């Protein structure tokens, strides 16, 4: 075997793909290709030591990266290892995939609660693009996209405490709630904090107050259905209660049906 860094143009990538037997490669994950292509287009692609592997002209590892290169229409660099035994393909990609929470911790970008922050970044990224609440059709951000979001919207970390508070009360998913508290804070920071306190403590709330209706609904779902309510449904309730609070409206009932558009933060 021998290795070195090589540059692949879209034309070269297409030529390599054309020479392969599709039956001997994994099925294409379209969303993964789009993620990689987006990183290549936006110049977030990095040579990080992960290799593209060949046995002669046969591609053993790099199928999705070459498809992404063709889709992005930009060249990319990668460490390449050649003349690998063809039987070694069975041992490729058998490790655990690194999660965004792992990356945040390893890069020292977040001091604690890495999983909650990673979930919040994913939620915020989807909401900003109008994807949140659309189910499996919406792709998630690449690690680099999420890190860029954290850098451009650093105030998100100020909402970590809000996520931790609802986690202690087991009211709703802490990561998504952290993201929406951040969005609420951009509208009215004082009201957003009061909203969290009312939701967590339930003290001094009158019948019909949106935050009490929200608290009762989340508690009811948890205790009566003996199952976890989907985070998207939880957040739809949260946003509806927030919107009513901002408008000083009473809210006796709170619901969100499956085909309903996800509410926009007011």
8 Å CB contact between 251 and 213: yes
Model confidence, pTM: 0.72
Find the radius of gyration of the CA atoms of the chain: 23
Q: Tell me the CA distances in angstroms from 143 to 43, 44, 155, 171, 239, one per residue in order.
A: 13, 10, 19, 28, 27
Locate the domains of the chain by residue range: 2-91, 100-246
pLDDT per residue as tens, the chain (266 positions): 889 999 999 999 999 999 988 767 777 888 889 989 999 999 989 898 889 999 999 998 899 999 999 999 999 999 999 998 877 665 666 555 778 998 888 788 888 899 999 999 999 999 999 989 876 555 788 888 999 999 999 899 999 999 999 998 888 999 999 999 999 999 999 999 999 999 999 988 999 999 999 999 998 877 665 455 688 999 999 999 999 999 999 999 999 987 889 999 99
| φ/ψ bin of 108: left (φ > 0), alpha (ψ from -120 to 50), beta (otherwise) | left
Q: Whole-angstrom Cα distance, residue 147 to residue 216?
A: 36
3-state secondary structure of 52: strand
| φ/ψ bin of 56: left (φ > 0), alpha (ψ from -120 to 50), beta (otherwise) | left
Q: Find out if CATH 3.40.50 is the number for domain 2-91.
A: no
Q: Whole-angstrom Cα distance, residue 62 to residue 77?
A: 12
Q: So what's the pLDDT on residue 136?
A: 52
The pair of structure tokens assigned to 251 is 């809210």
Q: So what's the pLDDT on residue 226?
A: 46
Q: So what's the pLDDT on residue 247?
A: 96
């Amino acid at each position: 075997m021998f290795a070195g860094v090589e540059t692949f143009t879209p034309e070269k990538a297409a030529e390599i793909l054309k020479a392969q037997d599709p039956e001997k490669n994994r099925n294409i994950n379209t969303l993964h290709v789009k993620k990689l292509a987006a990183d290549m287009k936006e110049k977030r692609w990095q040579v990080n030591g992960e290799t593209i592997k060949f046995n002669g002209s046969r591609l053993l590892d790099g199928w999705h990266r070459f498809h992404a290169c063709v889709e992005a229409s930009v060249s990319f660099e990668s460490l390449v290892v050649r003349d690998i035994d063809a039987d070694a393909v069975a041992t490729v990609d058998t490790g655990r995939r690194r999660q965004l929470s792992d990356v945040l911790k390893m890069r020292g970008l977040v001091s604690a609660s890495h999983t909650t922050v990673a979930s919040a970044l994913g939620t915020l990224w989807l909401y900003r693009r109008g994807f949140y609440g659309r189910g499996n059709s919406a792709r998630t951000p690449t690690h680099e996209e999420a890190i860029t979001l954290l850098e451009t919207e650093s105030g998100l970390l100020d909402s970590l405490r809000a996520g931790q508070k609802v986690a202690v009360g087991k009211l709703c998913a802490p990561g998504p709630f952290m993201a929406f508290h951040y969005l609420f804070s951009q509208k009215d920071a004082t009201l957003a904090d009061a909203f969290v306190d009312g939701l967590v403590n339930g003290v001094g709330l009158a019948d019909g107050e949106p935050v009490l209706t929200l608290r009762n609904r989340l508690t009811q779902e948890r205790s009566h259905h003996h199952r976890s309510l989907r985070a998207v449904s939880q957040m739809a309730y949260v946003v509806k209660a927030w919107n009513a609070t901002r408008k000083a409206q009473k809210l006796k009932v709170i619901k969100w049906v499956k085909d309903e558009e996800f509410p926009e933060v007011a």
